Structure 1
Amino acid sequence: MNTDFENDFNTLVAKTAELITGDTSPEMIEKIKVWAFFNHVHKALPALTSHWNQSHPEGKAEMRRIFEEIRALNQAKQVAKPDSE
């Protein structure tokens, strides 16, 4: 891949992590990539994710943990956000 594209894409992912969770650590950026990919596949190919969940119960549990962590961080960020009204 083009290095400029990779840098631009990584900037997009980092900004997404910041907006959703408030955390731009390398670990959170990787979690956002996993979260976004799985979320997309789940919506586009639900039978595939269902099959994967059945075949990989440990992976399913880890995916659920990642989704719950991101949701909790997002909710905390929303509560901490000052009222814009």
Structure 2
Amino acid sequence: MNDHLKEQLDGLLEKYTELLIGEASPELKEKVEAWALYSFIAKSMPPLAKHWNDTYPDAKEEMKTLIAEIKKLNEEMRSKKK
């Protein structure tokens, strides 16, 4: 992947993070990136996600916490817009 595409994807991720949770700090972008990747894999290849969850139960719990955090931030952002 070339640097230009990386920069453009980073911009896409930044805007997505901002629209999803209201701000786009580097830490939040990293969390949204992990959430998006895991969500996509879980929907497109559920057996792979299940295998990962079974293999790394500690990571599964951390991912559940991350998903809950992003959901909470999204709900807070939506309630501020109303």
TM-score normalised by the chain length of structure 1: 0.92
Give, in angstroms, the shift of residue 49 of structure 1: 0.6
1:53-83 superposed Cα distances (whole Å, 9 cap, x missing partner): 111110001100110000000000010004x
Percent identity, aligned pairs only, is 35
Q: Give me the TM-score of the superposition, normalised by structure 2.
A: 0.96
Q: Which has the higher helix share?
A: 2
> Could you tell me which amino acid in structure 1 is paired with residue 27 of structure 2?
E
Say what the alpha-carbon RMSD is for the aligned residues: 0.8
Cα deviation 1:37-64 (Å, max 9, x = unaligned): 0000000100111111111110001100
Gaps of 5+ in 1: none
Structure showing greater radius of gyration is 1
**Per-residue deviation, 1:23:** 2.0
Runs in 1 of length 4+ with deviation above 3 angstroms? none
The number of aligned residues is 82
Q: 1: CA distance between counterparts of 2:54 and 2:43?
A: 17
Give the partner amino acid of 1:60: K
Gaps of 5+ in 2: none
